[in-house]
């Protein structure tokens, strides 16, 4: 069994209608959204480096917030560093060049995908908490 087959089975068991799509360099992508509240949702993706019995993966939660006022960049980066040291666990908050704030995790998995799945579920809770924390400290941050 490969990682993709094991993940497909796990997502089916959990009632998550996610399917992999091949992307560049022999990688595979699962995409979805989870509801942040009644109005907002956050897109997430899981990239599997190769469809074998062992592979690297990346889980990312996109569009947590957007930096609109670049005068706040230094203070926002200080907060991001603090949150990365104290509250993001295995995940890392990042500020992209276009001002998007996202959360990501890099890891390695075998065909026992239970830890990968659990990190995906935990990540949605971390993303929700980080979004609230960022917006409470920087009300000027934008959302999509």
Q: What is the DSSP string of 39-102?
A: S-EEEEEEEES-SSSEEEEEEEEEEEEE---GGGHHHHHHHHHHHHHHT-TT-EEEE-TTSEEE
61-89 average pLDDT score: 95
pLDDT for res 39: 83
pLDDT band at residue 20 under the 50/70/90 scheme = very high
**Predicted model pTM:** 0.93
């Amino acid at each position: 069994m490969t990682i993709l087959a094991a993940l497909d089975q796990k997502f089916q068991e959990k009632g998550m209608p996610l399917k992999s799509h091949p992307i560049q360099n022999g990688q595979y992508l699962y995409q979805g959204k989870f509801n942040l509240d009644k109005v907002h949702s956050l897109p997430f993706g899981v990239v599997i480096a190769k469809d074998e019995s062992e592979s690297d993966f990346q889980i990312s939660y996109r569009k947590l917030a957007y930096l609109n006022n670049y005068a706040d960049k230094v203070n926002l980066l200080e907060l991001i560093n603090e949150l990365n040291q104290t509250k993001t666990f295995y995940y890392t908050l990042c500020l992209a060049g276009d001002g998007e704030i996202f959360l990501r995790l890099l890891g390695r998995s075998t065909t026992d995908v239970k830890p990968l799945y659990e990190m995906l579920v935990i990540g949605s809770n971390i993303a929700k908490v980080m979004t609230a924390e960022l917006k409470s400290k920087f009300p000027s941050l934008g959302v999509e």
